[in-house]
A and B are shown apart, each in its own frame.
Chain A
Amino acid sequence: MKTTLQKNSKAILVLIVIAAFLVIAARGMSGRDVVITVLRGFSVGSVTFLVAAGFSLIFGLLDVLNLAQGALYMIGAYVGWTVYVRPDTFVDVLTPVLLILTAFALNILWKHLAGAIKMQAKLRKLISWVLMAGGFVLLWIFLTKYPISLWDLNNYSQSPITYSYMADQGLRIVPAEATFEVISPIIAILGIFVSSSLSAFGLALRNREETQLRKMNWRQLIAPALLFLVAIFAAIFNAPITAWMYALSTNWLFVIAVGVTILTGVGLGALIETTLIRPLYNRPIYQLMLTLGLGTIGVQIVQAVWGRPEFVWPKPELFRGTGGACPATNLADLIENQCSTIMILGGRVRVYDEIFIPVVGIIVLVVVWILLKRSRIGMIIRAGVQDRQMVEALGINVRRVFTLVFALGVGLAAFGGALAAPSSGLTPTMGDRLLLSALIALAVGGLTSFPGAALGSLLVGLIQQFMIKYGQIGIPLPFTDVVFKPSPALVPASTVLLMVVVLLILPNGLLGKKE
């Protein structure tokens, strides 16, 4: 006990000083303001944590500073919004995406076939490039012909803003269903499947060395077959599923939206790791630059598909009640009336923003913590953070764990986006702002430390919210009558200052391991 105290004396001292600052800051406010500010700090901290946790896991194990994390957070929010506000678009997109996935999931079959074909290396390379390029061109042609009901960015009455607004008012517009006009459904579905299979086969043809080792196993084809069946199912029952989703209670729709978002994040993470990050493992600085470029591309894609203007994600019914007993004064009232606000110590607190988000943040913290501490995979991850080569030497396939951790980290970020969007709204810049907060939280808490990410996020959230509150009521400067009111734009500066000060005293952050 005594040695731990001595070892971490600096970190403890810094924490005490920060805590003292926060207490002094809280003394200048009324009790009502303190409750709201602290809860908002927890809320911002939770969202930051979801992004920072993925960051710290990825950086700890893979040594990759994933600067695309902010963009992926944003993409999570936009994907979730699409499922929630425009289920018809989601169901339309589902079929082609699943078909492409099936084609690439059949990788094992393609490799087997490619191994059976014998030809010259040069010819092989040429054919593989031709197949890949041809497959992509064909895929592009079929995708443009495939009917997807979309919003129209140039027409205000059909823009995302209008759909959000109408859904917020409880008047969901059900847009006209897109129908097969140019080509018949069977040709479209087969076309997408065959053309993506062509490019997948071309890809498999490229690397010859592995082909001999592969043995076919029928069990490995079950997953692609399931994907294919779901895709066909979604295509056939497109209209009934859409109608069912529109009729669904918004609570369940929200759950579905969050689930789809997490799956998208996990899928994107696995895709990025296997295709883009993996070739660069011996050039760490290039990985950083690559993720930076991916972040820019992500923002551009979001701007092109969903447009630049800000719009809202209407909250689910559970957090919208404004009946007679609202704002609720006790828990029973809250649950019975599904109030949007609750009174705590005289302060009116929004249930979704300031209670639901922190609760989810804590649940995720606990779940990931248990996963890391108790499961086999968590053990491998923790060992890998400490010494990657040793784990590899023990005969564990670290590469697969890398993919898993990257997918998990991106999934967490996407989840954070979907969770934060109903309270913060959606803009193409939301990722950049959060990226900075998450980076600061990580640097403060210690780059590779998972509890450090949680602590840093909490500190960043609290300090931001206290600064915003003081921006409203003003800080009386000592010995003068001047009241300094920091404008909201200056708030992020305060957290950067926190980071610089902490790093000057503790270069490895509060909970980072010493070297």
Chain B
Amino acid sequence: MTTNSNFLTRNRGILIFFVVMLLAPFLIGLLEGSSPAVVLANEGGLSKFLEGLGIEIFILAIFALSFDLLFGITGLLSFGHAMFFAVAAYLTGIALKTLQLPFWQVTLLVLLAAIVQALLFSIVLPRVKGITFTLVSLGLASVFHIIVMSSDMINLTGADVGLQGVPTPAFINPASERFRFYVIALIFLVATYIFYRRFVASPTGRVCVAIRENEDRAKMLGYSTTTFKVVAMIISSITASIAGMLHALYQPIISPTVADLGFTVTALLIVLIGGVGTLSGAIVGAFGFRLLDFTLRRFLGESASFVTGSVYVIFVLFVPYGIIGTLRLEKLSTRAGWKELFSRIRGNA
């Protein structure tokens, strides 16, 4: 990275992505034959439908980013990651529906819950390592899943049917203000991504990468590895909670499947498709996963998850670095190839 690079050049890729995604609804509207004013007024049609799909992808991408920070950057494999998302979603739903709190209080509550959860996971962090941490996180998350599914709390959570009828604040109602919601979700995604890039490049982020590579060595160098892990955990938890909150506001039903192990596996799959530890891979992966899932469900119905599972296995076996990771590797080798070619030409000349 050169010293004179400013904010714009450093984040060129994501800013182009932002502009393209911002213009996409209008372009699709034009192709369909409806003017930008119609798109802005949220009057249905293909554009509005695709905006909905886009919102789902953005939410998934934010969630996958938060998972990548823990798994890909810090090297903590947590099978309880869906809990961050689900707690925020349910808390938003319950606070808006049953407690009828104002929106800013709900936001505060969700952020507080995110930090408390991260600290809860952090209690076990210094004690258990590796696979055992994975098991403990799975256990903690399944307790939450069990509580959500149990009939004891049916009035609050709706048990296995899911939480329905959450009153969304009018200014971001996904039905009447779809475009506004779309832009907000997009802004959250872009902001999260830029923040994460900055975080990974910061001294704190560097230590997190060091922990992934070799924890004992990082400890030897005098870093309190647990503190850094807790920091990564809190950031990741807050991000996942934002995704969960958006999910609760956007979806008409909060289904208990978001608290499931399966939802964590979805994040894992997205990160794997995109490339573990690449950050931008999470966004690419979210697009790939959701579009694949959408198409498969349309044509295959129930057996779609069989194909998704197979895609997962194929990626694990044959494309371990994901799309972005493989591209980066190829880029290096192509560059090396060019260099070698040049040096040979020079040597001959």
| Interface assignment of B38: CB less than 8 Å from any CB of chain A | no
Contacts of B268 in A (CB 8 A): 289, 292
Evaluate whether A500 and B124 lie within 8 angstroms (CB atoms) in the complex, with A279-B317, A280-B317, A286-B316 already known: yes
Report whether A290 and B306 are in contact in the complex, using a CB–CB cutoff of 8 Å.
Answer: no
Q: Find the B residue at minimum CB distance from A505.
A: B127
Could you say which residues of chain A place their CB within 8 Å of the CB of B129?
A: 507
Given contacts A285-B77, A300-B306, contact A436 B272 (CB under 8 A): no
- Check A497/B131 contact, CB under 8 A, given A285-B77, A289-B272, A300-B309: no
* Interface bracket on B: 35 or more
Q: Smallest Cβ distance from A284 to chain B, in angstroms? A: 9
In the assembled complex, the CB of A504 is this many whole angstroms from the nearest CB of chain B, namely 6
Assess whether B309 is in contact with A447, with CB atoms less than 8 Å apart: no
Give the chain B neighbours of A296 by CB distance below 8 A.
Answer: 262, 265, 305, 308-309, 312
Q: In the assembly, what is the distance between CA of A485 and CA of B235, in Å? A: 38
Given A276-B313, A503-B136, CB of A492 within 8 Å of CB of B146: yes
Closest to A492 in B: B146
Taking CB atoms, residues of chain A closer than 8 Å to B272 are 289
Given A443-B135, A487-B151, A503-B136; A293-B143 close (CB under 8 Å): no
Q: Tell me whether A443 and B132 are in contact (CB under 8 A).
A: yes
Q: Are A489 and B150 in contact (CB-based, < 8 A)?
A: yes
Determine if B139 and A500 form an interchain contact, defined as CB atoms under 8 angstroms apart. yes
B265 touches A493 (CB 8 A): no
Interface of A is mostly: helix
CB contact under 8 A between A493 and B143, given known A285-B77, A296-B312: yes
Knowing A286-B316, A286-B320, A293-B316 are in contact, say whether A496-B142 is a contact too (CB < 8 A). Answer: yes
Chain A 401-441, CB-CB to B under 8 Å as 1, else 0, gives 00000000000000000000000000000001000100110
A301 touches B306 (CB 8 A): yes
Query: How far is the CB of A133 from the nearest CB of chain B, in Å?
Result: 15
Q: Tell me whether B128 is interfacial, beta carbon within 8 Å.
A: yes
Q: List 13 A-B contacts (CB under 8 A).
A: A65-B131, A280-B316, A280-B317, A289-B312, A292-B312, A297-B313, A440-B139, A447-B132, A489-B146, A493-B147, A500-B139, A507-B129, A507-B132
- What are the nearest 9 A-B pairs in CB distance? A489-B150, A300-B306, A293-B312, A296-B309, A297-B309, A496-B139, A293-B313, A290-B316, A493-B143
Whether a CB of chain A sits under 8 angstroms from the CB of B227 is no
CB-CB contacts of B20-36 with A at 8 A, as 1s and 0s?
00000000000000000
Q: Which of A260-295 contact B (CB under 8 A)?
A: 276, 279-280, 283, 285-286, 288-290, 292-294
**Bound complex: CA of A297 vs CA of B317, how far in Å?**
15
Our pick among B142, B152, B317 for the contact of A290 (Cβ within 8 Å) is B317
Let me know if A503 and B124 touch, CB within 8 A: yes
B235-269 near A? 1/0 per residue, CB < 8 Å: 00000000000000000000000000110010010
Using known A-B contacts A289-B268, A440-B139, A503-B132, determine if residue A490 contacts B317 with beta carbons closer than 8 Å: no
* A507–B128 CA distance with the chains assembled, in angstroms: 6
With a cutoff of 8 Å between Cβ atoms, the chain B residues found around residue A499 in the complex are: 135-136, 139
Interface flag for B303 (CB, 8 Å)? yes
A477, CB-defined interface residue at 8 Å: no
How many angstroms between the C-alpha atoms of A89 and B261 in the bound complex?
35
Closest to B159 in A: A489
Q: Does B61 sit within 8 A of A, measured CB to CB?
A: no
Q: How far is the CB of B141 from chain A (nearest CB, A)?
A: 9
Check A507 against B151 for contact (C-beta < 8 Å): no
In the bound complex, residues from chain B placing their C-beta under 8 Å from that of A300 are 303, 305-306, 309
Mark out the residues of chain A between 290 and 325 whose CB falls within 8 Å of any chain B CB in the assembled complex: 290, 292-294, 296-297, 300-301, 303-304
Shortest distance between the CB of B213 and any CB in chain A (Å): 13
Distance of A59 from chain B, by nearest CB (Å): 8
